[in-house]
């Protein structure tokens, strides 16, 4: 049986068939800056989802609150928690298109 030989392809160093463009783009006035080369998400610089935390104090307060909820759950008080089924039902109520 004869062995099949495939042609050898010379590849240039640093160039791949599925590589990103060498230079990114900066859409003037759009708020998007070099999204491809800086490896950042494609959100405008002024995007704020409004969920914070915005300061270290707010962050530490949220951590403290979460730790207290975990401690209460470990002692048997699970009033801060819901089951997966309850969460699903609430999501389907709020967003019926998820069904």
- Residue 65 within a domain: yes
- Residue 61 within a domain: yes
What is the span of the domain harbouring residue 73?
56-98
**Token code pair at residue 36:** 């491809």
- Residue 32 within a domain: no
> Rounded CA gap, 85 and 91, in Å?
10
Kindly tell me if the per-residue pLDDT of 87 is higher than 90. Answer: yes
> Residues 3-9: what's their mean pLDDT?
77
Domain count, the chain: 1
User: Tens digit of pLDDT for each residue in 13-68?
Assistant: 655 555 555 555 555 555 555 545 555 567 777 888 888 888 999 999 999 999 99
> Rounded CA gap, 78 and 14, in Å?
55
Q: Which pTM value belongs to this model?
A: 0.43
Sequence length of the chain is 99
pLDDT level of residue 9 (50, 70, 90 thresholds) = confident
- Residue 16 within a domain: no
- Residue 35 within a domain: no
């Amino acid at each position: 049986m004869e062995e099949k030989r495939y042609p050898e392809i010379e590849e240039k160093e640093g160039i791949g068939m599925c590589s990103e463009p060498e230079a990114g783009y900066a859409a003037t006035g759009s708020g998007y800056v070099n999204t491809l080369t800086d490896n950042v998400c494609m959100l405008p610089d002024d995007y704020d989802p409004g969920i914070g935390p915005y300061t270290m104090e707010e962050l530490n307060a949220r951590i403290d609150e979460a730790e207290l909820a975990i401690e209460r759950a470990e002692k048997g008080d699970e009033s801060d928690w819901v089951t997966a089924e309850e969460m699903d039902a609430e999501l389907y109520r709020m967003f019926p298109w998820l069904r």
